[in-house]
Amino acid sequence: MRRVLKWLWSNSEPISHWATVLAFAAAAIGSYYAYGQLKTASAQLEQANDQRRWQNYNEMNVRYAGLYENIPEQIVSGCVPDDFGKLKPDTKRWVRQYFNLYSEEYWLYKEKLIPEEMWTRRIHGGVRVNLSKYPALIDGYRYWKAAGAFTHPDDFHAVVDVAISDAKSPKYASHAPKPCRIPADPSKTVEKSLRKVAAQGG
């Protein structure tokens, strides 16, 4: 025992050195495995986030599909209203729903909650095609904007204004717009018919 203690005392410096080296090596190996585990966890988290982004995008597509199932004739006809406020209530409501969905989609994009490439490569162009094909959307947007709608996200108005400008460019413009037919007021129609009968002496 005395010899062992004497040897340890005489070799304490080399032993301390190698102990430090081994401790450093062990720490390095531990750090390497910890980094590997962290990288794996990060990759799994990103994969889960990516799946969620696609799920959000697909859910928006389903909601758009439901909206398009009930697109009003005054929109799908491609007409331009002289006074959007005089169009049918269903038409005005439909336009508001369309831009509500668009603003929600834009918010998801800003928050990185839908795939970026779907916004830049599909939604961006699709909105411009719709605004060109259905010009009543533009009048409807301005009608609701004047009423104080579509204020979230904060810069959504600027996004739509650029889309409207693009939609009127030669790249997207497809046909000459025609005026919308405003539904007749039933009370005025009856009044007109009575005047016609009275004029004929009936």
Neighbours of 182 (CB within 10 A): 13
- Mark the ranges of the chain whose per-residue pLDDT is less than 70: 1-28, 30-43, 174-177, 181-202
Q: What is the model's pLDDT at position 47?
A: 81
Whole-model pTM: value is 0.70
Q: What is the model's pLDDT at position 71?
A: 96
What residues does each domain of the chain span? 50-183
Q: What digits encode the pLDDT tens for the residues 81-111?
A: 899 999 999 999 999 999 999 999 999 999 9
